[in-house]
Amino acid sequence: MQIFYSKHHVLHNPQGIDIDGCPFVTEEIPERFDSILSGIQESQIGEIHEASDNGLAPILNVHDAGYLHYLQHAYQDNTTYYGKEKPVVPETFAIRTARRKPQSFFGKKGYYGFGIGSPIVEGTWEAAYWSAQCALSAANAVKKGAAASYALCRPPGHHAGADFYGGFCYLNNAAIAARALDGKIAILDIDYHHGNGTQEIFYADPNVLFCSLHAHPDDDYPFYWGSKEESGEAKGLGYNFNWPLPQGIRDLDYLQVLHEALEFILEYRANYLVISAGFDILEGDPSGGFLITIDGLAEIGKRIAALPIPTVIIQEGGYKIDKLGICAANFLIPFRDKQILTT
């Protein structure tokens, strides 16, 4: 299996930056990448490549041009405004009943961002751009005939919508990979948190089936999306499936729900499958609340890999740093020898 990464991920590191006199604390740190990469190397999952540059066009297939312009220039604009280097954090938020799109920089901060937990620092754009390029490189690998590929994306992407960011996510890597593929696409999001950005991007699109298993939005982030009733709209009605799960869910119950999702995906007859893989479902994850074991994660990987569909795996969350390598290895091993049998 082919694996793609980018060393540019280190350019995005908000840990400890000064926000109005306080050091910023986050779980989304570069060490996550190091842990995953070493786990993959030790377990010899596959060939590891640096992502290639596919340019901005495939990112524009998912994201709003004004939003991308904002992300690209926000740090510089903020620094110019304050006359000193300063990370971008919104002060106000545009509840989406707002009646106008803001022209001012201050207005844009709260229009494009939906939380304060994802500051934009000097290297955020470049890191997010290259994270998307990892996803595109992995999509290209399956387009060329690989049965499975993996993108070690950092920062993650599934909370980013066409024109909003939050939850550590700036560009939606899974959506960018899905749009780069041809035919019918199924996206399965197994991150602990609901993939609200991905859901919104494809909500009216019958050519992309979105299935998500996640913490119930009454219990955890992102709170405003992820209920069972959200089933798509217009032509996309009936192509969005959410399975909000209780806190403390264990392997067997989780696997039962996963089975249901995999049945939907098989029935949909997708040409390609994109997995938003978040390892924050692991027991003890500081950001999670499920009790999935390493063996459980291996079984989840095994069952997904058994589907006869070329599969692109996109890294999302996972914050138990010392266990991320073993999580990635156990989840990915079943994909290592995956083959698509043609009849």
DSSP state of 341: P
- Write down how long the chain is: 343
Supply the DSSP symbol for 113: B
Which one among 280, 285, 290, 327 touches Zn ion, defined by CB under 5 A? 280
Q: Which is nearer to Zn ion, 110 or 156 (CB)?
A: 156
For residues 171 and 72, the answer to whether their CB atoms sit within 8 Å is no
Query: To which residue do tokens 């998912």 refer?
Result: 62
Cβ neighbors of 212 (< 8 A, separation 6 or more) are: 188, 189, 190, 194, 195, 198, 199, 226, 241, 242, 243, 276
Question: Closest CB to Zn ion belongs to which residue?
Answer: 317
Q: Which of 112, 164, 192, 290 binds Zn ion (CB under 5 A)?
A: 192
- Closest contact distance (angstroms) between CB of 28 and Zn ion is 10
Based on CB atoms, which residue is closest to Zn ion, 2 or 131? Answer: 131
Handedness of CA 201, 296, 156, 110 (dihedral sign): positive
Tell me if residue 69 is catalytic. Answer: no
Q: Does 278 bind Zn ion (CB under 5 A)?
A: yes
Q: Which two tokens stand for residue 40?
A: 């993959």
User: Least distance from C-beta 85 to Zn ion, angstroms?
Assistant: 29
Contact stretch for Zn ion (CB under 5 A) within 7-15, 35-43, 76-84, 317-325: 317-325
Q: In whole angstroms, how large is the CA radius of gyration of the chain?
A: 19
Report in angstroms how near the CB of residue 318 gets to Zn ion at its nearest. 7
Residue list 71-90, contact with Zn ion (CB under 5 A): none
Structure tokens at 160: 């980013």
Which window, 40-48, 204-212, 276-284, 332-340, contacts Zn ion (CB under 5 A)? 276-284
Other CB atoms within 10 Å distance of the CB of residue 292: 25
Q: How far is the CB of 342 from Zn ion (least distance, A)?
A: 35
**What is the Cα–Cα distance from 212 to 192, expressed in whole angstroms?**
9
Task: By CB under 5 A, name the one of 317, 320, 331, 333 that touches Zn ion.
Answer: 317
Segment contacting Zn ion by CB under 5 A, of 31-39, 244-252, 279-287, 301-309: 279-287
Interface positions with Zn ion (CB under 5 A):
191-193, 278, 280, 317
Which residues are catalytically annotated?
Answer: 159
